[in-house]
Every structure is written in C-alpha cells, then in structure tokens.
Structure 1
C-alpha cells in the first residue's frame, strides 16, 4: 500500500491513515501505519539503519484521517508536549445517527476505560481513574436517508482520551454512524450477524439492517480531517487537510471547506 503523504521534512511526516488500517502493529498482524512510514523512510534514505518513527497521536482502527509521526526523539518530545498543551488544533468530521441538543456546543465529561473490554464510558466526576474529556461541535447539515435521519458534524477535539469522540457523542444521544461499540443500532446488527454465522447456512448479515453492519475497512462516520500547528523546529505554521472517506461520508453531500 502506498502512503498518501500530506507533509514531510527531515523532522516529521504527516500522512493519511485509511479506515481499517491499524495505527500500530496489533494481534491481527495487519499492515500498520508505523510499518508503512518506516518502510517509506528507509527506502528514501541512504542509511541501512532502521529509521526512528514515533506516533504523535493515534487513530482508532475504523477511523481514517491525518496521522503525524516524528523522525527523531527530540522532535517527538516537542510534538508530544505541544499535544499535551493543546498547541495542536484537531478537527474531525462526523456523521451521527442521533440528535444534538444544539447547533453549537461543548461536551465536558469524565471518562473511564475498561482495560479488559477496551471500551470507555462516561462516569461521575471523582471516579477513581477517570480523566476529564472535552470537545466542541458544530452541526453542519442534516439529512434524511432510507435508514433514518443523519447529522453531519464538525468536532474540535480539545483533549485526547481513548475513544473520546465515539464515547462522548454516544453518551449525549448522538452516536457515530457505523460504530459497533457505541452505537446501539450497529452493535445490535453486529450481534445478529454473529448469530447468523452460527446458524447452518447463515450469511452473517443482519436481517433488515443492510448497511448497518459496518466493518473496520468500511470505516465509521468519523474522520480526522484538519490539523494545525507550528512546526516544532522551523516554527512554520502548518495546516493539514484531508477529505473524508468511507461509506458514511458517501451518503451525504460534504461541505466544501472549513476555513
């Protein structure tokens, strides 16, 4: 698979992670972004040493969009500090199946991740191990489809927690399209598909839920589409943009730009 590179210099590289491709190597042994970036750097360098590649931020496997990597430890440390200090602006585009309370808003919750199940939930403030999570959103458009109403939303991620956007949006009644972990409509379809596979001659498709059993490769309705930051070495102001891909975004008419 060829890398779709948005920006590259001797300090860092930004590229597109397709839906369904893991950010790093996992138990599936699928081709991952770190390996792709490392191979790209190796093929374009004169050195025979294995290149240094640091992941600055992660994207869930079914989420596509911009990924940023550092090529040396000093740049990695600077970018990580910038991320912690909210000096890197992060915008996602989302397709949701619920309704938002307002056209504009901010969600502030406390999230707790279950290490055994890999899922995150909203918990009361003061819960042991919980971390504060913040995001802001803007409703861009609404659509009627055969499967029901959809909303097209721009999300600014203000903190970076595990499954943050997916968990927070679902907890506020606006789950992400195709999300089998946090959207009840899709998780039900997933369960039905599993039952179908266990039945003799079962196809594995959920009856009456065509298009609702989204796979990792098809992606969910969430895409990291814009990133802004000042280069940690050159101080150049960098703006990275990516057009959303995946089944959810094919069902709606995308806005032209978000400047």
Structure 2
C-alpha cells in the first residue's frame, strides 16, 4: 500500500510561530493544488496541523522549483503577507544552475514577458528587451496573484499577459557546460526567471519546457524538477512588523551531487545583491 505524501515527505521547517510557518519545499512537489486531496506542500503541512486549523497559501513556487516557502497560520497573517507579496515588498533571492556560459558581468536587466501560451505539451515564451510596438506603457500587465488563502488553484494554472520583468543577476561560477547564478527578481510573473534565462540562451538545467537539453532527476515519488532554488525571503513579520529573513542554508544536495566541481570554492548565496546604482 502506498503511504501518503504527508508521511513520506518530512518538511524542513525554517521558522514557525503562532502566525506563520516557513519551510524548504522539495523540487517536484506543487505548492498547492486545486484538489485539496492531491499531494502538495499545502497538504503535507495541513496533515500535521489540528483538524480545521487555518493554513493560508500566500505565495507560490512552481512545482519543479525547490526552496523557501512561507504560509500563514491565521487569516490576519495571510492577508498581511499576501499584501506584501502583491506590493513587491518581499525580498527574494534565487540560485540556478543553467546551461551554457552565462554572460558576465550582467548586473540588472529588463525583458518584456509578452505571453506564455500553451500549445500541446509545450509553452513558448516570447521575450524581448523592448516593449512591443503599440503596447501602452501599462500594457495588459497582470501581476501574479499571490496569496488568496482560500483559493488553491494549481501552481501552473492560468495565463500571463504582457509586462516588464526586472531581475538582477550575478555569476557565482562557471564550469564546463553549466553556470551557477544568483538571481534577485523585483517582479513576480509566472515562470519569469525560467523564461528570462532561456531568453538569454541559458535555460535552467532540466527545464525542458524552456528548451533545456541536460536532464535533471527528481526525488523518488515526486514530479519533474529543475535546478532553480528559492534561496531566501525577506519580509516584515505579519504580526509584529519586525524584519524576518529566511534562508535555505547551503546549496541543494542534488546540485552538489550532480555538479560537484561547480561548487568547489563557490560562495554560498546569502543576502540579495545590492540595488543597482543609477
């Protein structure tokens, strides 16, 4: 008999108090699913809570992505955290292993994420450094809907219309056919980093949706994974207002096992890159 995911997956808890819980989500596990009985980080954590206890999804990571994820334990905390994500007040740092020699120095760049559309099993991302002709300044920009705690749509549900995608980046190390990069997005569109990296000719290892050639194995019993990791989150505590900084310590074990030479002497990711000076 198959054991439920809540018994197989033991979440790595970074911080928990009366208002929130922060964990490291494994790659291949959705943040939440429309069907509350389907395996997800939400159902794993909910199974460990008293019956009927509130748990609010305030931000999401794509199912193939690993890393720091926060959920709310009260409705008030859910509303406040969702507001911070929606208003781009949350600091986010990601690390990725990408194919190819990532261009450096790179610093900050902006792309126009015109659309991501479904065509069979493929999605094509249309990216460009300039706004498409005839597009108004505000476009039909649709921000990623972070944190409606009552709704649990699939992580990958819905379409994204046009909008600017801002990110700062630095190369940590290059080794052979791959590069280790750190990324700090200031916008939060669906698949943003995946699409932007592919648009630079450096898709994330394992991300075949965006043209990656190199395979990347997921953990047993979990879905497809890619080498993108949410390394840290910084925000104001929803109850006290005090600064909270959450980090996933070290590099993902799957990365160091797959690309050991890439991580010899590599700096461990930490605080976000400083803002670009005008």
Same fold (TM over 0.5): yes
**Which of the numbers 205, 209, 229 marks the counterpart of 1:181?**
209
Of 231, 256, 259 in structure 1, the residue corresponding to residue 268 of structure 2 is 256
Measured in 1, the distance between the counterparts of 2:32 and 2:14 equals 19
- The 1:213–1:35 alpha-carbon spacing in structure 2 relative to 1, beyond 3 Å, is closer
Partners of 2:117 and 2:269 in 1: CA distance = 37
1:119 aligns with 123
Pairing of 1:63-142 with structure 2 (within 5 A): 63-111=65-113, 112-114=115-117, 119=123, 121-123=125-127, 124-125=131-132, 126=135, 129-142=161-174
CA positional deviation for 1:217: 4.8
Q: Which residue of 2 aligns with 1:158?
A: 186
User: Separation in 2 of the partners of 1:113 and 1:10?
Assistant: 38
| Matched ranges for 1:1-259 at <5 A | 1-25=9-33, 31-42=39-50, 48=51, 50-111=52-113, 112-114=115-117, 119=123, 121-123=125-127, 124-125=131-132, 126=135, 129-144=161-176, 149-186=177-214, 212=215, 214-215=217-218, 217=223, 219-242=225-248, 243-245=250-252, 247-250=254-257, 251=259, 252-253=262-263, 254-259=266-271
Summarize deviations over 1:141-181 as a string: whole Å, max 9, x none: 1112xxxx211101002111111111111001121111111
Corresponding residue SS for 2:71: strand
Query: RMSD value over aligned CA atoms?
Result: 2.5
Summarize deviations over 1:171-205 as a string: whole Å, max 9, x none. Answer: 0112111111113424xxxxxxxxxxxxxxxxxxx
Whose RCO is larger (CA < 8 A, sep 6+)?
2
CA shift in 2, pair 1:65/1:213, >3 Å: closer
Q: Is the 8 A contact 1:65 1:244 kept in 2?
A: no
Q: Would the alpha carbon gap of residues 103 and 67 (structure 1) be closer, same or farther in structure 2, given more than 3 Å must change? A: same
Give the aligned length: 224
Is the Cα–Cα contact under 8 Å of residues 134 and 159 in structure 1 kept in the other structure?
yes
Conserved 8 A contact 2:205-2:212: no
- Gaps spanning 5+ residues in structure 1: where? 43-47, 187-211
Greater shift after overlay, 99-108 or 53-62?
99-108
SS at match of 2:49: helix
Q: What CA distance in whole angstroms lies between the structure 1 residues aligned with 2:125 and 2:32?
A: 24
Once structures 1 and 2 are overlaid, which stretch shifts more, 103-112 or 75-84?
103-112
Deviation of 1:30 after TM superposition, in Å, equals 5.1
Give the TM-score of the pair, scaled to structure 1.
Answer: 0.77
Distance 1:257 1:120 in 2: 30
Is residue 221–residue 246 contact of structure 1 (8 Å, CA) maintained in 2? no
Q: 1:207 — aligned with what? A: none
Q: Quote the Cα distance in structure 2 between the aligned partners of 1:256 and 1:114.
A: 35
Unmatched 5+ residue regions in structure 2? 1-8, 141-160, 272-278
Structure 1 pair 213–222 and aligned structure 2 pair: CA distance change class (3 A): closer
The whole-number CA distance in structure 1 between the counterparts of 2:62 and 2:256 is 17
Cα distance in 2 for residues equivalent to 1:54 and 1:115: 28
Give the Cα–Cα distance (whole angstroms) in 2 for the partners of residues 83 and 167 of structure 1.
Answer: 20
